[in-house]
Amino acid sequence: MARIEDYAVIGDCETAALVAMDGSIDWLCWPNFASGACFARLLGTDENGFWQISPQGEVKTTTRLYWDHTLVLETRFATEQGEIALIDFIPPRGKYSELVRIVRGIRGSVEVSSVLSLRFNYGSAIPWVRKMEGGIKAVAGPDSVVLRTPVETHGEDLKTVSRFTISEGESIPFVLTYGVYGDYKHPDPPAIDPELALHQTDEFWKKWASHCPYRGKYRDAVERSLIALKALTYKPTGGVVAAATMALPEQLGGPRNWDYRYCWLRDTTFTLLALMNGGYFHEAEAWMNWLLRTIAGSPDQVQIMYGIQGQRTLTEWEIPWLAGYENSKPVRVGNAASEQVQLDIYGEVLDAFFWARERVTADRETDFRVLRGMLEHLQTIWREPDDGIWETRGGRKHFVYSKAMAWVAFDRAIKLAEGWGFDAVENEKDQAPLEHWKNTRDAIHAQVCEQGFSTRLNSFTQSYGSDELDASALLLLQVGFLPPDDPRMIGTVEAIEKHLTQDGFVLRYNTSTSSDGLPAGEGAFLACSFWLVTDLALIGRREDATKLFDRLLLLRNDLGLLSEEYDVQEKRLVGNFPQAFSHIALIGAAYALEDQGHHKRHTADQRAIRWKQTKMLD
């Protein structure tokens, strides 16, 4: 089994596959992110499905890259006999979804093998396979795929195998197409031109990437992160999944193995802000439509996460037949955290609408009515404890970050009402109760400063009355809760930097002592480490910020991708992959360093301005 950092991701903004350096696709959920996997070796063994294309003999060197500004992956294998290139991609989807693999001869003559082991339903269902002209068709219940290739295929140990020789200048395609129905009598999906599909995919990603306005020192890292975020966007609805995978462990061999193929309001909102900062407002509009459709109904029924199509029921269960990544069990599908209460989501949603207000077409009256309903519900619950940003399972508390984001919700609602004219409408029913909202905003701010700050630690803490540090406190500065020159914010940054890091990388919180309801231990959280970069830049420690940022960039794999966490002892990426949160925070930190190099932000009278979005409003 490959290390997490040895995987590449390819996708079509509806699903994604992970490709190992040896040419094996070990993870693919079809037809969409949340479907059952047809290749699940990532979380099991060879018997759970994979598709490997590679030289038959000894490989001397392997190199890979993404084609410039795209999600087209090219892996090169050099042998004694010659060299081949394996080009992997998933074209933008039409009626059907295709996974395309093209083998090209670069020099010499190389013997190559393709081993296709389809196992539907997360690696448990062996399909019925039959020959057809130019390939095979595999069916298992509702799932149906067609493989087309000009080379001969045959069955071998319940796998479809091809062995062929390719010489310099030759090109041999393999196209795997997911069908709409599993009925074997249904017409097969039509064949496509693999080379044309490659050209169209290349053009699609290049055109999309060309809109990125960032031209700073970290252009390549920012663009690659934006492409990763685009790949995690579910095009039909505008929702954004937190990661393309499930059950990759936050600690190797441990139980923190969650399903991240869903749309958290928080993660999706942060993704939206990062994309808007990068100039991608079409995605922002799609997200707003997804959000308004998803949370439609009573405000007290708003969840912290939803399915990619807005599904509310995300029942968590465990897969007994999968061994888990490096024996990390249980392998979880679904996510019970969907039933948690997290107050911060209200602030994140209001913040996103605030920053999108000038650049995204909206029905202001309808939108504000929905947002107002959310705020009225928050008014009734903000004093209550919640489950917190990290979805701990040790009971509810008065988490400091949750309360601070409740402050953000009221602050942004006030600004939206004033900007959209709802502070002066003639109809009293539609007029925003600004004085009431301002009083609530000020009350929350005072309470957080009084009960969420430890004078002993000189820092904001995880929860009221606690002496536990929490990296989410780094975001208080970024949302404008206090200005950068406030001693409490400087103290918080320094306390986290000193007491909540491993080898300079930031932990979410101290899992070895915190009563979060789970066994101790996990890696350093990459998003939190990038948050520290941002805060260091904001408080004027630009040199330290740059040094940490450059160290963090070295943790990316050779293709510029990041998972959720980093195991400092094992020096490995851990957690689900690629992780939206990590790439969002990377983009934010890059902009923070760029901004700090040109002009000062966050003066005392600008404390409500989130630096990450200032450029889009300039």
Q: How many residues does the chain have?
A: 618
189 inside domain: no
Q: Return left, alpha or beta for 388; rule: phi > 0 is left, psi -120 to 50 is alpha, else beta.
A: left
- pLDDT tens digits, 422-443: 876 556 666 789 999 999 999 9
CATH number of the domain that residue 132 is part of: 2.70.98.50
CA angle 12–17–23, rounded 5-degree value: 125
Question: Residue 243: which domain range?
Answer: 212-613
Percentage above 90 pLDDT, the chain: 76
Q: Are residues 110 and 235 in the same domain?
A: no
3-state DSSP helix/strand/coil percent for the chain, to nearest 5?
35, 20, 40
State how far the Cα of 451 lies from the Cα of 445, in Å rounded to an integer: 10
CA within 13 Å, CB half, 253: 4
- pLDDT tens digits, 328-377: 999 999 999 899 999 999 999 899 888 887 677 667 787 888 889 999 99
CATH number of the domain that residue 593 is part of: 1.50.10.10
- pLDDT tens digits, 24-67: 999 999 999 999 999 999 999 999 999 999 999 999 999 999 99
Q: Are residues 148 and 290 in the same domain?
A: no
Q: Are residues 179 and 284 in the same domain?
A: no
What would the two tokens of residue 236 be? Answer: 């039909």
- Predicted confidence at residue 614, as pLDDT, reads 34
State how far the Cα of 161 lies from the Cα of 297, in Å rounded to an integer: 52
Q: Are residues 494 and 570 in the same domain?
A: yes
Which residue bears the tokens 């939803």? 306
For residue 441, the tally of other CB atoms under 10 A from its CB is: 19
Residues 6+ apart with CB under 8 A from 131: none
Asked if 589 and 530 touch (Cβ cutoff 8 Å), the reply is yes
More confident residue, 610 or 146: 146
Q: Residue 117: enclosing H or E segment and its boundaries?
A: strand 97-117
Q: Are residues 172 and 75 in the same domain?
A: yes
Q: Are residues 506 and 457 in the same domain?
A: yes
204 inside domain: no
Q: How distant, in Å, are the alpha carbons of 112, 278, 362, 584 from that of 284?
A: 44, 11, 11, 14
Per-residue confidence at 600, pLDDT binned at 50, 70, 90? very low
- Predicted confidence at residue 286, as pLDDT, reads 83
Residues 6+ apart with CB under 8 A from 383: none
- Predicted confidence at residue 599, as pLDDT, reads 33
Q: Is the dihedral angle over the CA atoms 42, 265, 235, 556 positive or is it negative?
A: negative
Asked if 446 and 381 touch (Cβ cutoff 8 Å), the reply is no
For residue 47, the tally of other CB atoms under 10 A from its CB is: 16
Average pLDDT of span 537-547: 97
State how far the Cα of 345 lies from the Cα of 448, in Å rounded to an integer: 17
- pLDDT tens digits, 144-189: 999 999 999 999 999 999 999 999 999 999 999 998 654 556 678 8
592 inside domain: yes
State how far the Cα of 491 lies from the Cα of 497, in Å rounded to an integer: 10
- Predicted confidence at residue 541, as pLDDT, reads 97
Percentage above 70 pLDDT, the chain: 92
Asked if 457 and 474 touch (Cβ cutoff 8 Å), the reply is no
State how far the Cα of 207 lies from the Cα of 230, in Å rounded to an integer: 13
- pLDDT tens digits, 195-206: 999 999 999 999
Mean pLDDT, the chain, rounded, equals 91
Least Cα distance to 61 among 49, 74, 76 occurs for 76
**Domain boundary at 168, 183, 198, which?**
183
- Predicted confidence at residue 282, as pLDDT, reads 84
Q: Are residues 438 and 481 in the same domain?
A: yes
pTM: 0.93
- Predicted confidence at residue 35, as pLDDT, reads 97
Q: Are residues 225 and 128 in the same domain?
A: no
DSSP 231: H
